[in-house]
Amino acid sequence: MGTEITLDVGGLSLTYAKNARGMDHGSLFQERDRKPVRSNQLDYDYYEREGEDPTSAEMAFERPLKDILPRLELLGFNLDRVRQEYERTAEIWRVERQSLSDDDSESLPDLMSFSEFRRFATEHPLASLDDTFVSDFDEESRITVRGRFADQAVANRIPNCNSYNTWANSERSYFGELVNILHPYSVMRLLAHGNANDNTSVVWQYGPLVDAGWATEREFISGATRREAFLIATEGSSDIHILKRALELLRPGIADFFRFIDVCERHPFPGTGNLVKFASGLVKIDVHNQIIFLLDNDAEGLDAYERLSRLPLPANMRAVMLPELEVFRTFPAQGPEGIRDSDINRKAAALECYLDLDAGEYPSAKVRWTNYKESVGVYHGALEYKKTYADEFLRQRPQAITGASYDTSKIEVILDTLLSECTAMALDQWRSAN
């Protein structure tokens, strides 16, 4: 009979392969998600009789759906993509049904809108669906299998639905047949909408396949691949150290999706001018990596951003400035007329300004105006003692961050902006390919 490997959400199989690894789902997980999970494909009586440990045969990747969600977004599976997939599926279904009909005037069922389909898919938590196996195929058994989804009029409004010829053997598996009509990751993203399935386990169990000799453990690698990860290019090495530490502390569940230029010895493209030249060269050689050019919210960054905006950046590259913040509209700034509260957005807000400027025993934070940037018509400024603020942040440990002894609100805005841009980039690439 062979051995199956499935990707399951709350006991609902979204995709499977037999006697081979099939689709690689390693990018959904991290190494910490590798663990033994009890399997219905193993004969536990055999292991007990033989006095053997089944742990190696049980190996799987397991992670709560709520923690899979941000990884799905970075892979390009946000709700906008799911909506487009659903609408395309519905349109293909209409065309095929019309082409198979002998009567051109035959009216087709009024298919669910995407909003209706989304509500249908998330109305009942997966854990609440009956998973009792029903082996008979008579009408009474079919009614039992359909359970709360027995209303045929509702099922008929779902594209690709063939509820009369179902292979389902429980209410949960019948529900799976109704909603599993898109890419499996799109279905997972749909099920993750709202909070009904937050703690539902996503399981990719490879142990039985390896134990049976159909695959090797080295085929199952966790983490984002090089093509799925995002290369973040900044103008300075300190920015890289801060961002890497911010991801480790504040977004550890997706930190493997972000890679940075190696600055162990020195930054190979220091300054905004060199960063623009670097971007121009990458455009010309047509690299396929996903690249974000992250620029400071200051005059130098604004100048570089405007120059990058004039380049024909492909779908896998984009320039992003650090976000403007209200707190920067009245920030102490030292100039020829002394210290005055000034708006430092797009003038002097380097990455260090987004750190906790009250942490440590340092003088009150201020920027100092330096040179006039004629290309953008504003003065450029720099945060005084910015290295001390950076060093203080790099010394932080998770317990200080979670204990609220260090204010991470501004740096979290940067991370949210970065995630939003990366998600949009992944979606743009899918659109360009489809």
Encoded amino acid at 416, one letter: D
Instruction: Please indicate, yes or no, whether the overall pTM of this predicted structure exceeds 0.75.
Output: yes
Which is nearest to 130 in space by CA: 177, 80, 159, 173? 173
Q: Rounded CA gap, 219 and 206, in Å?
A: 10
What integer pLDDT is reported at residue 116 of this predicted model? 97
Segments in 15-78 forming alpha helices (H): 44-50, 65-74
How many other CB atoms sit within 10 Å of the CB of residue 53? 10
What pLDDT score was predicted for residue 294? 94
Cα angle 33, 176, 424; round to 5: 60
Count of CB atoms situated within 10 Å of the CB of 381: 25
Q: Are 273 and 342 contacting, i.e. CB atoms less than 8 angstroms apart?
A: no
Q: What is the pLDDT of residue 283?
A: 87
Residue 202 pairs in a beta bridge with: 9, 63
How crowded is residue 423: how many other Cβ atoms within 10 Å of its Cβ?
Answer: 20
Q: How far is CA 227 from CA 69, 289, 316, 426, 429, in A?
A: 19, 6, 10, 11, 12
Q: What angle do the packed helices 79-100 and 409-433 form, to 10 degrees?
A: 20
User: How confident is the prediction along the chain (434 residues), in pLDDT tens digits per residue?
Assistant: 689 999 999 999 999 999 999 999 999 999 999 999 999 899 898 998 989 999 999 999 999 999 999 999 999 999 999 999 999 999 999 888 888 766 665 677 889 999 999 999 999 999 999 999 988 777 788 888 888 998 888 988 999 876 555 778 899 999 999 999 999 999 999 999 998 999 999 999 999 999 999 999 999 999 999 999 999 999 888 899 999 999 999 999 999 999 988 655 566 667 788 888 888 888 888 888 899 999 999 999 999 999 999 999 999 999 999 999 999 999 999 998 899 999 999 999 999 999 999 987 777 899 999 999 999 999 999 999 999 999 999 999 887 676 678 899 999 999 999 999 999 999 998 888 88
Write phi, then psi, for 410 (nearest 5 degrees): -75, -40
Identity of residue 267: H
Query: Angle CA(387)–CA(329)–CA(299) in degrees, nearest 5?
Result: 60
**Rounded to an integer, what distance in angstroms lies between the CA atom of residue 26 and that of residue 221?**
6
